Each structure stands twice: as structure tokens, then as C-alpha cells.
Chain A
Amino acid sequence: MGRMRRGCVPGAGRGRAVLLAAAALAALAGAGRAQPRAAVPPALLAPPPAPASGLIGDDVSNDAGRALTLSWKLSPDDSVGLHRVRGYAIERAPDPSGPWQLVDSVAARTARFVDQSVRRNTDYFYRVTTLGPGGITPARSVTGPLRATSSWFNDRRYSVLVATILFFGFVLYFMASAQSGKKPFVRRIPGINAIEEAIGRATEMGRSVLFLPGILDIDEIQTVAGLVILENVAKLTAKYETPITVPVSYPIPFTIAEEMVRAAYLNSARPELYDPTSVRFISPEQFAYVAAVTGIMLRDRPAAHIFMGAFFAESLLLAETGFSTGAIQVAGTANVHQLPFFVVACDYTLIGEELYAASAYLSGDPKLVGSLKGADLLKILIIASIIIGCVLETLRIHGFTHWMQTQ
């Protein structure tokens, strides 16, 4: 937490602004009364509640200077069952003499408030007024000056910063190392090898390849991964002169996919084979997309289906329909809840991060392959952290866990 500010300027002001504020508070104290009350004998009227006290304030840390936090001691009359306190009103002014502005009010039994309507680098003074059915008790003192300032660094994110720097370092090192000739070993993933096999099969059968880059927009990293795989697939289909169909659900991935497929045919010196309708925008509506794609599967009968990207409930519909047409199916997604459906219904499945690694495998680019090793090294560190953390927690040493917690 930042510096504690405890100011005490005696005597709340008695100016006109105060009277207006008091009138507003009186209205608040009476707010919520849905029905007019019958007259109550004076003897039975409760007295105004005792005031809240000990108001202290502080700048909220790790923010852009947008908030101040206030806390106070509850009114002695604010106990469960007493019903002599209805709430507290928090007022703010640029100067102890006013003009006072009502910021908000909170319910009884609340001793904390975060004022998020402040301007940064501006001094404010606060007071808390106690509200009850018996009346309003003004604050006895004013706290301030309090000032919200911007923080330059979120000190609850050191652990993420360390991990990020390590990750960047590992990846850059192994990319440079791979480029200099020390290409790391990467294990064979059957699903990725199967992509070329699937395209070859479609070529032999004289049928097309169907490629789905997922059903999310370009801001989803799985869609980016899917489109990167599409680039490699499109190069192969252009090389083998196999037609390709790419139904896309969002406009921006559609334009990227269209460019990729067109460029693949251009770069393979087969521009005449490029079909402008091979990449189609369908619909962002999940099941409209499914209906269109299953229609393509049943009518056009592609021999190979490649599903690479983010999929949801439609995954089984696509995979089962595809199976019924006899196509070879290769799928990859990082949506773990859809993996079981793809595993069951497809011939090969890329699980989780294998989808992101696929582009490195397919292209064979040393830099991309090097980045895989960097990510793997960080994974080893994470495993070590988990084991160390479990041991320390078992020994009731919480420092490491607290350091890892972020906000």
C-alpha cells in the first residue's frame, strides 16, 4: 500500500454548501421509505446515531491514479439488530471548508469505500456522515489531503515479469541458436505428418481438401495458428493441383485466408488454377456455419478434412458428418472440452499446444523450431515451480506462493 495519510482538520464547515449537503443527506436518509409514515409520538423517536470515526484514506496502488480508498470505524450504534444506522454518506471537497460534494453512500455495517471518481494528482478532503432513522450525524473531522497518483509499475506482477523475461530470453536464444545451425530435435507428431498424407489422398482421388481455420475471429490466437497452417496446406494443394475449399466464419480471417490461398497458387506458378470462390465467408453464427460446412461436406465430398483452430459445440457435428462421407480427417484445437470429440471421430488429432507447434513443424523454419524449444524450457521451469510450491506449502512456507500470486 502507498503512504498512509491521516489528516485531521477540526470542525466541519458551517457554510451554505454544508446546509445544502445536509439537505441532500436528509433526503437520502429518508430514501427508501415507500409509504408515508404515520406520526410517531416524540417519545418513541430514536435519537440520531453516534458518528463514525477514525476515517483514514490512501491512494489505491498499482493503478493509473483513478482511485482512493477510505476506511473508518463503524458508529458505535451500528450493531446487528439495533437498526439505528441506515448507512454512511461519503463526501468530498477540494478544501476543508468545502464545497462538499456527496460522492456515494454505503449501507450499514460497511466500513470501507473506494472512490473511483477522483482526478489524478488532485488533493481531496473527505468526511463520513452517519445516517439513521433518527437523523443525520455529521462527521466530527475531515481527512485529507488525499491524492491519487499513477503507479509506474504493478508490484503484484513481478512473478509474471520474471516469467515473461525468461520466456522471451529462452525463445530468442534458441531461435538464434537454430538459425546458426544448431536446429533442435523435435519429436514426431503423427497428426502433423498426416496433413500431407491427407492432401496426397485427396489428390489421388481427384477430390478436394476442406480446411476450417476455426470459428473464432482473428483476435483468437488459435485462429492465427490455423491460418498459418492454412498457408502450408495451400502451398501443398497448389503444388499438387488439388482444389481446396476454405469456409471462414469471420470477415478478417476470411480476407487473410483469401490472400494466402491466392498467393500460394501464384507462388507455385499456377495462378490459373486459383478459384476465387474457394475461400468463402459463411457466417459468424456458430450453427449457421456448421450447416453450411456440413452441406459442403455432403455435396462436394472432399476427400480430406482439416480442422485447425478454435471449435466449440459444432466439433462433433463436423467430425461425425465428415466421417460419414468417408473423408480422412485431421483436427487440432486448444479447446480442451472439444478434444474428446475430435479424438473419437477424427483420424488424427493435435492436442492443445501441438496446434501452435504445427506451423513450426510444417515449415521447418529454424527460427520457428527454435521457439518450440524455448517454450519447452519454460514448461520445465513451471513444472519445477509447481513441485517447489507444493513442497513449500506443505511445510507452511507461503512466501513463494504469495510472490507468485498476481493482481
Chain B
Amino acid sequence: MQWLERLDRRWIFVVMGLLVLGPLIKPLYLPLSVTEHVRAFAAAIDRVPNGSTVLMSCDYDPSAIPEMVPMTRTAMRQLLSKDCKIVITVLWNAGPGLVDSVTHETAREFPGKRYGVDWINLGYKSGNEAVMVLMGQGIANAFPRDYSGGDTRSYPIMHRVRDYSSFPLLVNISAGYPGTKEWVQQVQARFHLPMVAGVTAVSAPEFYPYLQSGQLQGLLGGMAGAAEYEKARGEKGTATRGMDAQSLGHVFVALCIILGNVVRRTRPAGGTA
């Protein structure tokens, strides 16, 4: 067993790579169950009156594609299927290009929906929390131009949008800072805007206190949360396809923890570290 202690970590990388790649090529179709917080996320969007205008803040960049993009797509589909209008903002400077591609792709699945009428991408504005506060004085003030450079106020969707009071819900899909925590502190706490969030798996535990206090009405955590959301909505997207790979990856990491400790415990007395 001692050879394991001297094992080149690149072998661990190889095994991990194979375990992740395998199910992507040959799916295992492991069954998913939808947890309470994911159900609450979908239910919060369901409660929004049909035809309302919803604010969606997509605060992520390409590094978080596997977790964030499936959430964005499924949430956007749920909103558009309710004939809701969506005002999209991005607070990460590397995010707007990606968000624009994702939202255009998703909107194409609804042939009757038009940019500027049913949804709009206001693009990126630097300033983090200051932008959130500025939006409270007027969305169009904070974003005078949309992502494509047009005058925000000229789009039909923005005619009825003034500030946070124009929205019944904030859907925040966020990969870090600025993100969910800042939206809760600056917007939800001040303006009492109902809010749901989709976050990365590593940061999801940080938001459980907000779920318990009711400041967040629902939470998607990582790709697992995205996959459960897809299942709740009857979809089979990239997150669902990735869960088999994630399952094997988690099992492998668990084995590494156990094996690492077994190797240390079985080391002969007086052996080198």
C-alpha cells in the first residue's frame, strides 16, 4: 500500500478525467430527486402573475458555464412560458457576451417572443453594489443603453419599468462577487423585492441562512441544483447530462479521502512522511 503514498498525483488526475469523461460519452441515467429548495425556486417563479416583468441578474462569466448556464436557460424558459417579460442585467464584466448568447438561444425556442418587447439584455455596468443602489433610483438611469447600444427607454418592455417596484421577483444567477449576497443586502433587504437565487455549489451553503430567514424564496446549488430544476420543469438539459459524471467524480473524491487515510494508517512505524 505504501506505493500509494508515493503515487504521482497525475495518476489521480487521469482517473478523475476518465471517470468524468466516461458518463458524458455513455450516460448512466442515474435517477434524480428534486429537493425542497429547488422546488421552492420553481414555485416562486410560478407564483409570479403571468405577463409580469421580472428582473433577472446573470452575474457570472464563462468559467461558471456548467453550473450557471443551465439555470439561466431553465429559468428563462419558465418565465417566457408564463408570458413574463424579462429584464436582464449583468454585473460581471466578462459576462455580458455569454449571457447574450445564452438568452438569445433560449428565446429562439419561443418564436413569438421578440427582443425589446418580451426580454431585454441591459448588459454590464461596473460598480458592483453601487449599481444595485443606482437601479433603485431608476433602472433606465443605471442602464441608459442596452447591451447592443440602443436607448433603453425606447424599448417597449421598458415603458412600464421604473425601478425595483416594477418587478414582482428578482431571479439572480450568480457565481460569486458581486452576486447573491450583495443583492440580498442591497436590494432584498432595502426594497423587499422577493428573490430567488441560483449559485455555485461551493457557495450554496453560505446562503442557507437567507433561505431560513425568508430573504431567499428558493435556491439552486450548483449543477446538482440546476439538474433538479430541469427535472422539476420536465427538461433534460446539460446539467442533467452532467450529473452522472459529477456522481462518479464525487465517489472518487470520497474514495481518495478514505484511501489516503488508510494508506497513512497502514504505514509501518518509523516510516517517512
Interface of A toward B, CB cutoff 8 Å: 104, 107, 114, 116-117, 216, 219-220, 284-287, 310, 312-313, 324, 336-338, 406-407
Contact = CB atoms under 8 A, between A and B. Distances in A.
B190 interface: yes
Nearest to A110: B49
B63 A287 contact: yes
A285 B94 CA distance: 8
B189 A407 contact: yes
Given A114-B165, A337-B203, A313 B63 contact: yes
Contacts, number: 35
A167 B37 CA distance: 36
A114 B202 CA distance: 39
Question: Is chain B's interface secondary structure helix, strand, loop, or mixed overall?
Answer: loop
Contacts of A286: 61, 63
A100 to B, nearest CB: 19
Nearest to A287: B63
Given A313-B63, A407-B190, A104 B160 contact: yes
6 contacts: A220-B177, A285-B94, A312-B177, A313-B200, A336-B205, A337-B206
A90 to B, nearest CB: 13
A313 B94 CA distance: 16
Given A116-B162, A313-B200, 15 more contacts: A107-B49, A107-B51, A116-B165, A117-B162, A219-B128, A220-B177, A284-B93, A285-B94, A286-B63, A312-B177, A324-B9, A338-B202, A406-B189, A407-B189, A407-B192
Nearest to A220: B177
Question: Which 6 pairs, one residue from A and one from B, show the smallest C-beta to C-beta distance?
Answer: A337-B203, A312-B176, A337-B202, A114-B165, A337-B206, A287-B63
A390 to B, nearest CB: 14
B100 interface: no
A31 B200 CA distance: 41
Contacts of A287: 63
Contacts of B128: 219
A132 B153 CA distance: 28
Contacts of A117: 162
B178 to A, nearest CB: 10
A364 to B, nearest CB: 32
A116 B51 CA distance: 22
Nearest to A67: B165
A312 B200 CA distance: 11
A380 to B, nearest CB: 21
A224 to B, nearest CB: 15
Contacts of B9: 324
B165 A310 contact: no
A310 B177 contact: yes
A160 B93 CA distance: 34
Max chain B Cβ within 10 angstroms of own Cβ: one of A216, A287, A313: A313
Nearest to A32: B51
Contacts of B176: 312-313
Contacts of B49: 107
Nearest to A114: B165
A116 B93 CA distance: 30
Contacts of A104: 160
A116 B63 contact: no
Interface string B83-115: 000000000011000000000000000000000
Contacts of A107: 49, 51
